[in-house]
Amino acid sequence: MDFRNTTHVDSDELLSAIRDAIEMWPSEKLIVRVRYSRGAEFSGACYYASNRIFVNLGRQNRYPYRLLTHIARPSANRTHWWRELYSVEIASPMQLVLFVFLHEFYHWLVKQARRNVRQKEGRCDRFATRVLVDAYGAQVRDSHGRPVPRESWDFQDLNGFVAAALRKRPVRITQPLLLPGAAATKPVRPKATSGNNECAA
C-alpha cells in the first residue's frame, strides 16, 4: 500500500489501525491519501481504475463525533420504503479517518470481486461500523439516541459478498520456475485489471 497522511493524525497509529482492519484482504496496489478537507466535516472517494482512495478530514470537528449511517435494516409498506438513520459515536479523528477509509475500501473490494458497485452504501457503512465496534467499542444508537442491538444492523455476510476479491491477491515468485525439458522461465506476473467506475462518499 502506498500511504500518505498530511493531517495531524498520527500516521503510524493510523496505518497500523488500517492494516489491522484489512489484514485478510488484498491491498498491495492501493494508493491511499489522507488530507484535510476544504470545509466539509469529512468526505471520501474511491477511484477504481487507479486504485486510489482519498480520505478528507475536517479541521474543526468536535469529538466524540456523531456519524450518521445507512446501517439500519430497511422498512417498507405497500407504497414506499425507508431506513432509519443510526449513528455511530466516533471518539477521535483517527477513528473518523478509519471509518471513511473502510467505507471506501469496501467499495473497492466490491469492484475487485466483480460485483455490481451500485447502491452499496449500506454494506460499506456496515463494514466500517463492524470494525469500529469490535476494535474500539463504538456505540451504535437509533435516531432517538437509544443503544441499538447488533442484530439490528450487522445482518449481512459482508466478507462472503466480496470473497472473490481474495483470489486476486498477487502470487509472488522470487525464483525462476524450472520445467522439465525447458529453460528457466521468467517469474509470472499477474495481469493488471482496471475499471472505469468511481465512487465517492
Checking if the pLDDT of 129 tops 90, the result is yes
- 198 part of a folded domain: no
Task: Judge whether 177 lies within some domain.
Answer: no
**Number of residues in the chain:** 201
Kindly state whether residue 132 falls inside one of the protein's structural domains: yes
Cell numbers at 5, concatenated: 497522511
Confirm whether 159 is domain-assigned: yes
In a domain, 128, yes or no: yes
- In a domain, residue 148? The reply is yes
Domain of residue 107 covers 2-168
pTM of the model: 0.82
What integer pLDDT is reported at residue 190 of this predicted model? Answer: 46
pLDDT at 182: 46
Q: Is 159 exposed, middle or buried (0-12, 13-18, 19+ CB in 10 A)?
A: middle
Using one digit for the tens of pLDDT, what is the confidence trace for 10-59? 999 999 999 999 999 999 999 999 999 999 999 999 999 999 999 999 99
Q: What is the count of structural domains for the chain?
A: 1
pLDDT at residue 169, rounded to an integer: 55
Whole-angstrom distance, CA of residue 114 vs CA of residue 102: 18
What is the per-residue pLDDT for 123?
96
Check: CB of residue 170 under 8 Å from CB of residue 190.
Answer: yes
90 backbone dihedrals φ, ψ, rounded to 5°: -100, 120
For residue 66, being part of any structural domain is answered with yes
**Confidence band (pLDDT; 50, 70, 90) for 79?**
confident
For the chain, percent of residues with pLDDT exceeding 90: 76
Would 162 be classed as within a structural domain?
yes
Confidence of residue 187 (pLDDT cuts 50, 70, 90): very low
